[in-house]
Amino acid sequence: MARRLTDKNFEVKESQISDSALLITKGNGILEDQLYKNGLFSVQDESSMKTVEILNPQPGETIVDVCAAPGGKTLAAAEKMSNRGHIIARDIYLRKLNIINKEAERLGVSIINTCPWDATKVDSELLEKADRVIVDAPCSGLGVIRRKPEIKYKKKLNEFDSLPIKQLEILTVASKYVKRGGVLQYSTCTINKQENQRVVKEFLRKHKNFSIVEERQFMPHIDLTDGFYVCKMIRSDNLI
């Protein structure tokens, strides 16, 4: 892919964070290029791509993504699975799920089933059905201020108090879908510890059958990525 992009006058280099990523350092119109239109690659931040590598989805597995839109991680997971298995992608907004469907068509992905759903509500049909569950929770977005500076002026202080409550609620519901021995992965695009480490800490305090496998906080000024938090947890087989 690097050579094909170079042939089209894009300058690229390998990512130092994600094994799946190429960084475009020079060139314009990547989203208008025929390679993109033909579904040969997607465009997203390195930190998001690394998150899917940490998740490590396998072909044939059942994945549930409870806050899937706009679908970057959902689609990356499908590619990691070689388009074999089943991904249930949910979001409260149908119009956002339509974005996922459109991207799946562009990429030739056929294993994603989208469905509008409130992530704070339990779906009894999914209880203990998933090998891996993705919780990319709604958050303050403080980690993407470099790309969306308007966040500094739109966020209200009371949101910072209510978000962790909702995030914990979503994480708790999502944990019910994880099989014994399965993976529960929590992530946000913020650097706020109250939305990240403290949510996970409170969840683990109440759910002793889950434990942390890997945890990482990306920082824009250090990693040159979005500010992004990810925590991969596993459900122990020997505990209820």
pLDDT of res. 217: 97
* 3-class state of residue 106 by DSSP: helix
* 157-163 mean pLDDT: 82
Q: 157 pLDDT exceeds 80?
A: no
| Phi, then psi, of 58 in degrees rounded to 5 | -115, 150
pLDDT of res. 240: 47
- Beta strand residue intervals within the chain, DSSP E: 11-14, 22-26, 62-65, 86-91, 112-116, 130-136, 178-188, 210-218, 228-235
Q: 13 pLDDT exceeds 50?
A: yes
Which residue, among 127, 114, 137, 125, has the nearest Cα to 185 in the 3D structure?
137
The Cα 66–Cα 175 span in angstroms is 10
Q: Where are the domains of the chain?
A: 1-41, 44-235
* 160-180 mean pLDDT: 96
Topology of domain 44-235, CATH = Rossmann fold (3.40.50)
The one catalytic residue in 67, 139, 189, 231 is: 189
Local confidence band at 104 (pLDDT 50, 70, 90 cut-offs): very high
Local confidence band at 92 (pLDDT 50, 70, 90 cut-offs): very high
| Phi, then psi, of 131 in degrees rounded to 5 | -70, -35
Instruction: Say which residue the tokens 């409550």 belong to.
Output: 165
The Cα 222–Cα 239 span in angstroms is 38
Give the global pTM. 0.92
* 107-126 mean pLDDT: 97
Instruction: Say which residue the tokens 């991904």 belong to.
Output: 87
Pairs from 116-119 (Cβ < 8 Å, separation ≥ 24): 116/90, 116/91, 116/92, 117/66, 117/90, 117/91, 117/92, 118/92, 119/66, 119/67, 119/90, 119/92, 119/170, 119/173, 119/174
Q: 8 pLDDT exceeds 90?
A: no
Q: 41 pLDDT exceeds 70?
A: yes
Catalytic residue at 189? yes
pLDDT of res. 238: 64
Local confidence band at 161 (pLDDT 50, 70, 90 cut-offs): confident
Per-residue pLDDT tens digits for 191-237: 999 999 999 999 999 999 999 999 999 999 999 999 999 999 999 87
The chain-wide mean pLDDT, for the chain, equals 94
The Cα 231–Cα 135 span in angstroms is 10
* 145-150 mean pLDDT: 86
pLDDT of res. 83: 98
* 79-98 mean pLDDT: 97
Sign of CA dihedral 70, 234, 200, 228: negative
